[in-house]
Amino acid sequence: MEIFLDTAELEEIKFASSLGVIDGVTTNPSLIKKAVERRRGEISMVDYIKEILKLVPGPVSLEVISVKAEDMISEAKKLYKLFSPYGEVVIKIPICPSTDGESNVYDGLGAIRELKEAGIPTNVTLVMTPEQALLAAKAGADYVSPFAGRIDDYIRDQLGMKMDADYGKADYFDFELMRKLADEQLRRIIESRGDFSLRGAYIDEEIRDAANAGHDNGIYSGVDLVKKILAIYRNYKYSTKVIAASMRNARQVREMAELGVDIVTIPFYVLKEMLLHYKTIEGMRFFIADVVPQYKRIFEE
Ligand code: E4P
């Protein structure tokens, strides 16, 4: 599995690349905004991106900012021409750049198709369903980025859970527990119906609401979203690579690796979390405390 760093912070990229565990980088306008704000705007964007590209031993995703296919295509060509001499540029295209559900619905697919023909690699972003991933692959995407963490957020939001109040952004979403709770709720509602018939139960609104709780149209978590995309791609032998994105914690990384996802893109703090374990730290303390002078002297002579 390849590991990309999901950041536009030069220092993080420099450090992680020096450790030899990073195969690429993904950026987006929000990550670039953070990097610019941290430097109080005193940053030449072009030079900064060139620096990132020079440091990374693999693909660096840069996102377009328009919503119309023709504009996204011309931005993609500009980014590709400007930065390709410095590294491996991949262009991020939103799967559906609509902001109202009506306009620009098909522009993402149009841009992916044309960029494929122009030989410019794409990473299709903001993927929230396997259906979107299927269309992206058919249009010729090189990579798709399903947003695992945001799907987990969405499922929790639908249940009335609020980020920060009920759960932290980096918390693992225990969808197996959620499934058990949802099944139990459904069982109790069905039990409360004295007069049970299959037809009556199937059209009962309270029962239907309970059956629809804890998942997004059959997607039970961000990990489940990636699992379903991988199954579809394997069924039809699509060569589009899957980047598990919007990753929030180390356990998600493990579950993505168990699925056999091609790539995970992680924030810097997840890299640290992947290394830490209480017993490893405790074990280090014991080893250091047990060093005898005779053994220490080997290194001093
Ligand atoms: C990566 O390609 C995405 O832009 C990123 O993972 C989004 O992560 P977030 O949901 O934590 O903002």
Per the prediction, the chain carries an average pLDDT of 96
Report which DSSP code applies to 145: E
**In the predicted model, what is the mean pLDDT of residues 86-91?**
98
Q: What is the pLDDT of residue 18?
A: 93
pLDDT surpasses 90 at 43: no
Write out the catalytic residue numbers: 92
Are 162 and 135 contacting, i.e. CB atoms less than 8 angstroms apart?
Answer: no
According to CATH, the superfamily of the domain at 2-161+221-285 is Aldolase class I (3.20.20.70)
pLDDT, tens digit, for every residue of 237-269? 999 999 999 999 999 999 999 999 999 999 999
Lowest-pLDDT choice from 39-48, 85-94, 266-275: 39-48
pLDDT surpasses 90 at 171: yes
Q: What is the pLDDT of residue 196?
A: 82
Q: What is the pLDDT of residue 37?
A: 87
Ligand 1 pocket, mutate which of 3, 6, 122, 152 (most atoms under 8 A from CB) = 6
pLDDT surpasses 90 at 59: yes
- Measured in Å, residue 204 CA sits from the centre of ligand 1 at 38
Which residue owns the Cα nearest ligand 1 atom 1?
A: 245
Q: What is the pLDDT of residue 108?
A: 98
pLDDT surpasses 90 at 157: yes
List, as own/partner pairs, every contact residues 173-181 make where C-beta atoms lie below 8 angstroms and the sequence separation is at least 24, other chains included: 173/221, 173/222, 175/214, 175/220, 175/221, 175/223, 175/224, 178/214, 178/220, 178/221, 179/214, 179/220, 181/214
Q: Which atom of ligand 1 is nearest to the CA of 31?
A: 4
Cβ partners under 8 Å of residue 151, min gap 6: 128, 216, 219, 221, 222, 225, 246
HSE-up (13 A, CA, CB side) for residue 245: 24
> Packing angle between helix 45-55 and helix 69-83, nearest 10 degrees?
70
Ligand 1 pocket, mutate which of 128, 147, 157 (most atoms under 8 A from CB) = 147
pTM of this prediction? 0.95
pLDDT, tens digit, for every residue of 203-245? 999 999 999 999 999 999 999 999 999 999 999 999 999 999 9
- Measured in Å, residue 244 CA sits from the centre of ligand 1 at 9
Query: If pLDDT is split at 50, 70 and 90, which confidence band does 159 have?
Result: very high
Q: Residue ranges of the domains in the chain?
A: 2-161+221-285, 174-219
Query: If pLDDT is split at 50, 70 and 90, which confidence band does 41 have?
Result: confident
Q: What is the pLDDT of residue 44?
A: 87
130 lines ligand 1 (CB under 6 A): no
